[in-house]
Structure formats: C-alpha cells, structure tokens
Structure 1
C-alpha cells in the first residue's frame, strides 16, 4: 500500500470511528429521552386532569380565579423537577463537561437538548397549554395587549416596570383618566396582571415596594405563541423576536444582529432594543422612512446598571427630527452621547424622554422648552450636566422631572428652581445640589408652593467637581438648603442622599411632613432625626443606608415611628440596637 493510500485509509478509519462514537452516544441518549418523555407525559396528564376538574367544578369565574393559582404552583414544581433532570443528564452522562462552575453553560445546553427534542412544540400543542390559555382569553382587551408586550423579553429575565409602562403610554395602550395619570393606570395594569397570575413581583430584601417582575417560562411560551399568531411581533423558529418584521408593526434589536437592517414596510410603530450592546446605526434611511414610529427604546430596559450600551456614531440623533409621531424615546444608559441636537424640539408629540445614565451628556438644548407635550424628563445619573436650560417652567404637562441640576455661577441663564413652581402637574422631582451650585433663598422657599408634588429626591454634591474652592461653594449651598428649604405639604416620599450636615434641619420634622409615608436617607453626615415628644411620624417605610454617624436607640425609634411596617438598615454602625435581621431588615409582624 502506498503512503498516499495509507493516509486516505487512516482518514476514513478515523471518520468511521467518529461516526461509530456518535451512534453509541445516540444509543445512550435514547433511554434518557424516553425517561424524560415518560415523566413529562405523566405530569401533563396529572395537571390536565386537575384542570378538567377545575373547569367542571368552577362555573363561577371568581372561584376559578381563586383555585387557578394552585395549578400554577404545581406547574412550578414540575418545572423545577424538569430542570434537575436536564442538568443531571448533562453532568452525569457527559464526561466532557466539567462537574462544577458551569451552571450557565449547563442551562444553555439543557435548553438546546429540549429544543432538539421539540419539547416546546409538544407543550404548546398539549391540552394543558390550551387550558392555560383560558386565563389569557378571559382578560380584558387592554390587559391582553399589555401582556403581549412581555413576549419579547428573554426567558427568566427580570423585567423593570418603568420602561414597560412608558412603552404602553407611547403606544396609547394606557392613557390618563379623570382621576389617574397614565403612569398610575400602568401601575394598575401591573397589579391586575399579578393578581391574574400572569407575572410575579420580585421582592428585594423583603421590601413591599416592587419595581421588577418575572414571568413563568410556560406562561411566556403561551404569550409568545399568542403574540406570533396575532402578528404582535415576528419571531424566528426558536421563539426569539426578529428585527425584520414581515407581518408585525413592531421590530426588535436582538443579538447576534450586528447592524439594523431595513424593514420590508414603512409602518413600524415600535422599535425595541432587547439585548444589543453595540448600536451600529449607519443606515439612517431606514429610520427616515418610519413615519409611524411612536416608541423608540434604544436604551436599556434592564434593572441593572451593568447593562451598558454604546453607539458608534451619535449623528443618528439628527435624523430623529423625521419621527414627528414619536411619543416615547429612551436613550437610557447609552454612552458617547454628549449633547442632543436642537432639532430634538421638532418631536412635538414626544411625551417621555428618558436620558438616564447617559454619562457623557454635557448639556440639554435650550429648544427643549418647545416640547409642550412632555410629561416625563429623566436626566438622572447624567453627572456631567451642570445646569438645566431656562424655560422648563413652560412645559405645563410635565409630571416627572428627574436630575434637575441647580446651576452654578458660570451657567448662562440657567433654569432656576422657582421656575418649576409653574408646573401644576409635577408629581415627582429629583434635585441635584452640585458642588458649585449657586442656591437662591427664594428658590428654596418656593418648594413649599409645589402643591401637586408627591415624591422628592435631593442629592448633594452630584456634579463632577472636586477642587477646594468648589467644595467651599458646596458647603455654602448646603448651609442654604439647611436653613431656607421648605417642604411641599403633600409630600408622600422623601429621599435624601449624601446629606451634608450632622444636625437635622427644622424642615426635616414630622410636623412639616404630615403626609409622608416613605423616608429614605442614604449617605452623608446626618447624626440624628429630630423627634419631639408627641410629634410622631406617619412614615410606614424607613430606609437608612451608609449613615456612619446616625444614632438612635430602638425604643426612641418606635416612639418616633409608631406606624412603621418596614425598616431597612444598611451599614449604619451606630444603630446596633435596631432588631434587624442579617439582611438589615425589620418587619412589623402585626401589619
């Protein structure tokens, strides 16, 4: 045999060995697959029987709703068992995989195994899923449409409430009523979906305040199936939302797409960034054609600040003026945006502008005062902003203003705090007293006139400066806020950050904040809370974080806060007498 022929023989022999090994592996997998099928089938049969009994016994819709959550509990248990089976099958039978430290890899591989077995299709075609969809079918039309928005979020992702509500407002799925703002209506939708068992609130550190939600994987499967059939979004074969949308009027930015591709029609109303971290928006022609676009969520929706987004060229912002129908624009968490073009003012229908955590943003355009329909403006965590443009007081529909920076002596005609007193609908205000802020006494006294204000946050020293001269200015500004500040009478939540003095000012007393229900104090020098016997607080939720000098014993705190149901204490060295658990939480068992 020649050397060449011998080489060919060796290659074919090795290929034969590889095929033989794959056949052996497949033969070993078959019993495991059969076992999985047996378990899943038995569990489906059990739940199907439960649901049939439930449907037979519960002619009354109220009784049906009351008993249905117990079925979901059983579903949760089955899902847990199935995950254990998946991970066990991978770790125990595949020696090529490490036994530890590979939980994420194992989960992804397990998911792949299930997809190969077409298990998801079996679930969707099962009588159980048909019965589960009953819970969707009985929803009101508004709840159905709002629920379908959850279809684009990845499985088991923690979904932040705020951007979803903004999305709903942008599309007009929720609108204001006679006695509620659109945002409050959106809050009610989340509450209803929770009560129906469609989503599950995430309670962090036992806090009664919920900002994020989860959706059970099987409910998500049902929602994706309905959204696909209804053309609410377009999905690929794996159930992931698509950028190109042949049927739907909504499109997504999803990995591994590197560039935004053109849509086949010009009727897209929503473009939502699901998981793109690097935005290459070079095809401006695609955007200019989308005359119907009302929701543009380019920024992050995730709850964590670790989800950072970069844009290759901020020039695309100039093309936004073409989208005159836009109602919600989010650039949240996008870097390399230093300014917004003056042409942003052409978005006269815009209601919500979310610029939170645009860390490179240095200035807002003066033309922003022309955006008369604006209800929400968020520039919090934009640490390079040194002042706000004059004219914000003319935005008569503004309800939420976050990140308002009190200007310095070099600012050219900045917006002053007293100008905001003209905003008769303002409910939430976040103020930053920068290191070089120039604070006028009249400004601080005007806060008392903010009759509609319910939530107020004040942060001292938020702008990035650190020279000795600027530190001295901050001390002067801090002194002014301690002496001249007056609190709005209807305030329900007060959040104080980096408090600059150790003595509690007169305005921080229960007699000046009779309607206050939530008090948060984070960081700074505050040494005590003023308490005069007989002047108890009505506060129910108290959060104290990073207060090195704070002193108060438990008996005094109980007397000062008799209505308190939740207390959180994090890194407050001198509050050791407070009976908090290992997580720094105390709850009133009698609530």
Structure 2
C-alpha cells in the first residue's frame, strides 16, 4: 500500500507547462532569460514581449520537435496521420514568432518617438515666449511639436490595423490573390480605419511634390531596403516630381525630398551618417498599406484583387509568378498609356515578341536590381534582343539594367532614344561593348558603368555628352585593342562642365605625375570623385640617364571636391596629389582596401596646416593601416562620424563599426 500511495502522489503532482531544456545544438535559451521566465511563472510578474519571443517560442518549437510524428513513422516510410496537424502547429508557432518580432520593432520605434518628444527643449521654448521674439519662437516650436505628436499618435494607432496580421474574423477584408506571392495588395476597408484617417491627415499636410514623391514607395515590398538613387531615377524619369530644368540641381532636389520625408517620419533611413545623409531607406508596412490605398484611389497604381495591373494602369510591374515569367504582360493591351515598367522580383527577363516596341510613350524602364540587399540576386535576360525594340521608344528617359546578366552589348538602336536622361548599366557582368553612337544621347545626365569588368573600350562619343552630371565606371589607362575606334580619355572629359560625380577604374599607367590622373585638377565643377585601382603599382625603375629630364606638372585634385573615395590604393603611403590644405570643401573621405599603412602627408612650409575639413570618415578593409585614436582629433578636427571595418591595426580605436561625435568633433 505504501508503494501504491507513493506512486499515486507522484502522478498527482502537477506537471510544468513545458521544460526549459536547451538543445545541445542550439543556443536559443540564454540562461538569464530562462531564470527570469521561471520566476514569472511563480509570481504575478508580466513577461515582456521580447523575452517571450527570445525564450518561450524557441523553447516551444524545440519541445515540439521532440514530438515530431516522423519519429514514429513506420519502417515502410508511410507518413503519420498526425503529421499535417504537427506541421500546422509548427507553422503557427513560427508565425507567432514573426509577429512578436514585428511588435518588438513597433515598441522600439515607439520608444524612439517618445524620447524625441520628451527631449524637446520645452524650458527654452517657455522662457523665450516671455520675450519680445515669442512669435518667431512659436512659429518654429509649435509646428515641430505638432509633427512629433502626430507621428507618435499615428504610430500608436496603426499597429492593430496594419502592423499585425488580421484576426481570423477579419480575413475577408484582405483579398486573397490567386497569385499567392503577389506583393501589391490592399484592403478596401482600410480607408475607413482610424489608422488611415490619421495617416491621411499627415499626408495631406505635405506639399504636392512631397505627396507625389511618397507615392512611389508603394512599389516596394514591406521592410525592403531601397536605394535612394532608384527613387531618384523614377522622379527624374517620369518628370512628375522633379521637372527637367536643364540645370544640375535634380539630385539636390531629390536629396531634400528624402530628408523631408525622413524628418517627418514617412521613411526610415538605413545607416544614417548625419541628418539626412543616407543612401538607403525603408518603409514600414503600416505606411505602405496607407500609401497603397492612396495610390489605388488616385489611379497612381492600377491593380485588381489578384495583384495584376489593370488595363488602364499607366504603371506596370514584373512580379515572379507560378504561371510564368512575364505572362501577365501579354494580357496588358493598353500600351500607349504605359509610362513606367518596374521589375519587383522577376529574375528571368523573357518579353513577349515586340512587346516593348508597342510602349511608345513609356518613360521609365527599370528591369534591374533596386534593393541594397539584393547584390547577389540573379537577373538574366534570356534573349537580350528585346533591347532592339527600344528604337521605337522615343520618349524613354530612364533605362536601368542594374545587375542584369546575359547582355554582352548594347545595340546602336539605344542611341536613337534621344530623350534618355539616365542609363544605368551597373554590374552588367557580361557587358563588353557600348554603342558606337552613344554620343547621340545629348540629354544624358546619368551614366553608370561601374561593375562592368569586361568593358575595355570607352567610345569617343562619351566626351560629347555635354549634359552629364554623373559618370561612373569610366576606365582609364587600359591598353586599347588593335584596330579599335578612337577612345575617350580622361582629359577629354574635362570639358564636360556640368559633371559633378565621377568614378574611375585606374591601373598602373594612371599613377604618378606623368599618368592620366594628372588632368584631374581641370575638373573644376567636380564634387564627388571615386577611384578604384585594379592592378598593383610596379616597383619604381631606375632613371635612364640618357633621357633628358622633362618637367611635369604636379598633379592635384579639384578644389571643389566634397567627397573622395579611394579603393584598393596599392601603395603604403598616401598619394602625393592629395593635399588637404587645398581641399577646403571636402566633407567625406572613404578609403577602402589596398596597401595603405599611414595617413602621413608631406606638408609644404608655405601651408599653415595639413588638417582635413572632413566630417565623415570611413576606413574599410585596411589590414595594414596604423593610426592612434588620439591622432584622429588632430588630423580631423571637424569629424562627426567614423566607420571602421576590418582594420585590425587600428586597435586603439574605441569601437569596431560606427562612432558618432556628440560635440561635432572627436574632442581628442
């Protein structure tokens, strides 16, 4: 009886809801969090969301894995009848974890908005309103406070309607497309929610230009990282946001738009170096849901409940489907109305025969990569002959083939696109030849050939593109093929008076006082310069005494430079043609890769100081660079941001990664 009683009492003991038993192959349950959770089970404490996400859900998934019906499968391999239910539970737990992660992002954003509001200088505003300049102070303070409070209110009201998955009873509000992976979806009922009403109030307070520019973000999937230049291309290409002015201020207008939209909380900067200084941005699902509603209502984007562009849409997109690569394009018949064609996620470009030739009024064709996180995404043109159809597209202003493989040459027919402003060929890895008549693109302002490593000819016509503001991937110093036509040299580009951004690929013939770089000082309007060296510099040879010495001009950089980017510099010492005392406008200095070991620069006696005016400094993959942190403040007294990546000899630096100054200088 005693034994039976003992056994009975053991069976009556309550079992724990689950066991916190970490897997030997996983570290999903940090010991401190486990202890905190066990403490909460015994008390009335409330477990925070991130702890549930970090501990509970992974533990449940781990324990569930030990109950997998597959472990009970018969020897003949038959699937257990419980497997479907098991898979459903496992999928639900994964969905719960994803939702909790989104809640954590919402919580982090809420904290940021609240702190910003609490840190506002309320005392200064209150004191100033007692003085004679109270009106001026309030004209600045009140709108700023309104903007912060509106952003906070909008963020608080949005999560239940849009950030989180709909409740089972509300599933009918969201049309389920036949194409289950469709990206363009919206809810007809969303316009009636408080979340949308609050957003629409903020949206209506924007200028017309800001409103129009924001609608283009509805193209992109939730939480994707979008390169700024892609939006800039759309704004310039369609002309609805940035009108063609014939001046070089298009990118300045775009930069200001990004800064405004970021400050007002509509977009999220990624790796912001200074206020408004970022190259990548993202948009939250709640904001995009609202934008899709507005875009659909205004006819900016026309799509049906299945996510397919409607016949009256002026903007079509390529989205990978199970039915076939570009099948829905063959159903799109209203070619004359089409203004923009955008590739969302299609990796196989196989256009219906002569389809592009029918889009005579199209102004933007963006077929390549657009995300900063899609550098490895493979896009291939099955038959690049579709580019021949562009001979009939006379109004085309933007053509982007960024990262598209399979294109070995651009046909001369592209040169007939006389209105083309933007030609983006970045990372077209198979591209070997540019059009001979490229000089006919008289309106071209942006041309990007960076990452096209098979190119070995720069057609003479590039020097006649008098409207060029941006030229990337220009090759200098490479030996020319025998029998090739006349090539464009770096000195030929110096006459392009509107050129603001220039990136070069250099080799051994371009380094030194007698090299092709010697003409850089002639680029008097240049603001951004990037140089990548593709071969090492050979050792210096002994001078030939039989040759008469020749005088050469000392090379130097344009004094107008604002950003200098050096990649794979093959010498341990800084280039002699970099003279900080002449670069008073330089604000950004990037040095990536190469053999550089020190930042020492020989300073002439006539110069007062060799200090840099640089505010943003980036050191990346400099394995041999040695520099003390205390010297940073001496050389760069205006520094506010520094990024250090994989520079092991910079061990005295306070952090690995990003450092920001709170005072506007290092203070060292």
**Structure 1: distance between partners of 2:247 and 2:443:** 19
TM-score normalized by structure 2? 0.69
Query: Is the CA contact (8 Å cut-off) linking 1:437 and 1:473 kept in structure 2?
Result: no
**Structure 1: distance between partners of 2:478 and 2:297:** 56
**Structure 2: distance between partners of 1:113 and 1:381:** 48
Partner of 2:469: 399
Query: Is the CA contact (8 Å cut-off) linking 2:526 and 2:558 kept in structure 1?
Result: yes
**Structure 1: distance between partners of 2:169 and 2:595:** 55
The 3 A distance-change label for structure 1 pair 474 and 309 is farther
Partner of 1:510: 580
Deviation at 1:488, TM superposition (A): 0.9
> Residue deviations 1:181-229, cap 9 Å, x none?
1121111111222233221212268997311222222221111111111
**SS of residue matched to 2:147:** helix
> Residue deviations 1:275-328, cap 9 Å, x none?
1111111x2332111110100111111112022211110111111111111000
Deviation at 1:64, TM superposition (A): 3.4
> Residue deviations 1:71-124, cap 9 Å, x none?
1342476589x74xxxxxxxxxxxxxxxxxxxxxxxxxx579687252655543
> Residue deviations 1:493-518, cap 9 Å, x none?
00000001112232223123222111
Residue of structure 2 aligned with 1:443, choices 516, 534, 539: 516
**Structure 2: distance between partners of 1:362 and 1:438:** 25
**Structure 1: distance between partners of 2:167 and 2:476:** 53
The 3 A distance-change label for structure 1 pair 483 and 114 is farther
**SS of residue matched to 1:252:** strand
Deviation at 1:437, TM superposition (A): 7.0
**Structure 1: distance between partners of 2:275 and 2:622:** 19
Deviates more, 1:257-266 or 1:386-395: 257-266
The root-mean-square deviation of aligned C-alpha atoms, in Å, is 3.4
The 3 A distance-change label for structure 1 pair 224 and 79 is closer
Q: Does 1:410 align with 2:485?
A: no
| Structure with max Cα Rg | 2
Residue of structure 2 aligned with 1:566, choices 610, 621, 641: 641
Within-5 A mapping of 1:442-591: 443-461=516-534, 485-531=555-601, 532=603, 534-579=609-654, 581=655, 583-591=656-664
Query: Is the CA contact (8 Å cut-off) linking 2:258 and 2:276 kept in structure 1?
Result: no
Query: Is the CA contact (8 Å cut-off) linking 1:387 and 1:414 kept in structure 2?
Result: yes
The 3 A distance-change label for structure 1 pair 207 and 433 is farther
**SS of residue matched to 1:576:** coil
The 3 A distance-change label for structure 1 pair 437 and 367 is farther
**Alignment coverage as a number of residue pairs:** 498
**Structure 2: distance between partners of 1:461 and 1:474:** 16
Query: Is the CA contact (8 Å cut-off) linking 2:233 and 2:398 kept in structure 1?
Result: yes
The structure where helix makes up a greater share of residues is 1
The 3 A distance-change label for structure 1 pair 437 and 179 is closer
**SS of residue matched to 1:285:** coil
Query: Is the CA contact (8 Å cut-off) linking 2:364 and 2:398 kept in structure 1?
Result: yes
Q: Does 1:261 align with 2:261?
A: no
Deviation at 1:138, TM superposition (A): 2.4
> Residue deviations 1:405-429, cap 9 Å, x none?
1153333322110000110000000
**SS of residue matched to 2:662:** coil
Partner of 1:287: 356
Query: Is the CA contact (8 Å cut-off) linking 1:379 and 1:404 kept in structure 2?
Result: yes
**Structure 1: distance between partners of 2:511 and 2:661:** 43
Deviates more, 1:531-540 or 1:334-343: 531-540
The 3 A distance-change label for structure 1 pair 425 and 66 is same
The 3 A distance-change label for structure 1 pair 557 and 79 is farther
Query: Is the CA contact (8 Å cut-off) linking 2:157 and 2:195 kept in structure 1?
Result: no
Partner of 2:236: 169
Within-5 A mapping of 1:192-207: 192-203=260-271
Partner of 2:316: 251
**SS of residue matched to 1:424:** coil
Partner of 1:320: 390
> Residue deviations 1:116-166, cap 9 Å, x none?
252655543223322321112222222222111111211221221101111
Partner of 1:95: none
> Residue deviations 1:541-575, cap 9 Å, x none?
11111112211212222111111111111111221
The 3 A distance-change label for structure 1 pair 505 and 159 is closer
**Structure 1: distance between partners of 2:471 and 2:169:** 47
Q: Which runs of 5+ in 1 are unaligned?
A: 1-16, 33-38, 40-57, 84-109, 463-470, 477-481
Within-5 A mapping of 1:100-119: 116-118=171-173
The 3 A distance-change label for structure 1 pair 186 and 414 is same
The 3 A distance-change label for structure 1 pair 164 and 587 is same
**Structure 2: distance between partners of 1:276 and 1:485:** 47
Query: Is the CA contact (8 Å cut-off) linking 2:456 and 2:480 kept in structure 1?
Result: no
**SS of residue matched to 2:474:** strand
**Structure 2: distance between partners of 1:420 and 1:567:** 32
**SS of residue matched to 2:593:** strand
**Structure 2: distance between partners of 1:274 and 1:340:** 23
Q: Does 1:299 align with 2:364?
A: no
Residue of structure 1 aligned with 2:301, choices 213, 229, 233: 233
Partner of 2:192: 125
**SS of residue matched to 1:377:** strand
**Structure 2: distance between partners of 1:157 and 1:142:** 23
Deviation at 1:366, TM superposition (A): 1.8
Partner of 1:42: none
